[in-house]
Structure 1
């Protein structure tokens, strides 16, 4: 009995990386994400990297699409210097495809720390990542699901992105919006006489 009580006291929750994935061909080719245990938390040892890619012998998370690289990217669990909490980083393992993390472009073997919520994309793949807190330093979890709608929407045309101290406006030819809620129709103007 005392042993069981000690186990309850020492049990720690796992930090979990939730990955929502989208690919435009998934509607026609259900194989793309078929090797994933969708909706289930998969435990990974802290010292092991979670590798995504096409190689079924090396990758724990298999992307069954000919456009995916044999080794696409990996998540690594680590403790930042002078920090008590664990974190994730992502490293691009593809020599042919650049990886974008919230608009930051990563070439082959470049890596970056993941914020608590971010968007990554490569080729036609889009993934929304969200971190759920946990205390364990020995294990972490990854939970994947598939979205049937795009997670990123491209906007063409000038988009105002800021005003400098001199008052000059800067614009960008295109940008990305992250969709977290379904789009709503634009407001309709109503004339006072119509009321």
Structure 2
């Protein structure tokens, strides 16, 4: 019996450029179980020609949870100059978080939603893309802009219980971004500079050392 592929239904929206921002995005992209790279670089799997993006901006990484036979996914921020919002949580450089069935993501003025339909195959997955003409995230200040005066408090991530993911084809398991760490970071005042960078004010502890985005 042939295994079915996991399908990620991805919608994209840009508030100023509209669907023209994603003119080079395919309607469908099949990928193996290595990380799928998103950015403006020519070496990315999903190339977005937008000036504020890093060459490698995001990494969508499939993995197996202990005891599970279905692919799960996490999203990692690879950009030093931009922060990423995932379901109300802030990801700074090299931070990552597991994805739920339905996810709302914003980065560099782009809004993205990902809905996961799980299949039985562990060999590959499929991304189906839709370019939306209208906003995908309606919560105030949900989308990232070049300059913010404040950052709203995050909300708990669905399915945020602790798990130990086992990445396919990787030598080490990725660190889990704890919700307690995110809540502490999001309660503090944070400001973006006009260049799109951010500075996070955290308590001075080794586990919560701030990093430039």
TM above 0.5, yes or no, is: yes
> Do structure 1's residue 53 and structure 2's residue 44 form an aligned pair?
no
Other structure's SS at 2:17 match:
helix
**Which residue in 2 is equivalent to 1:130?**
115
Q: Distance in 1 between matches of 2:68 and 2:35?
A: 20
1:121-164 Cα offsets, whole Å, 9 max, x none, are 012100011001200001111111110001112448xxxx9xxx
**Which residue in 2 is equivalent to 1:22?**
13
1:35-94 Cα offsets, whole Å, 9 max, x none, are 2112x2x21111x111110102x1110111101111110111110122222101110000
CA RMSD of aligned residues (A): 1.9
> Do structure 1's residue 112 and structure 2's residue 97 form an aligned pair?
yes
Other structure's SS at 1:142 match:
strand
Q: Distance in 1 between matches of 2:54 and 2:138?
A: 24
| Alignment equivalent of 1:37, drawn from 2, 7, 26 | 26
For residues 25-174 of structure 1, the aligned pairs below 5 Å read 25-27=16-18, 30=20, 32-38=21-27, 40=28, 42-46=29-33, 48-56=34-42, 58-155=43-140
Q: Which runs of 5+ in 2 are unaligned?
A: 142-154, 156-186, 188-213
Q: Which runs of 5+ in 1 are unaligned?
A: 1-8, 162-171, 173-195
**How many matched pairs?**
143
With normalisation by structure 1, the TM-score equals 0.69
Q: Distance in 2 between matches of 1:77 and 1:154?
A: 28
Q: Distance in 1 between matches of 2:93 and 2:124?
A: 27
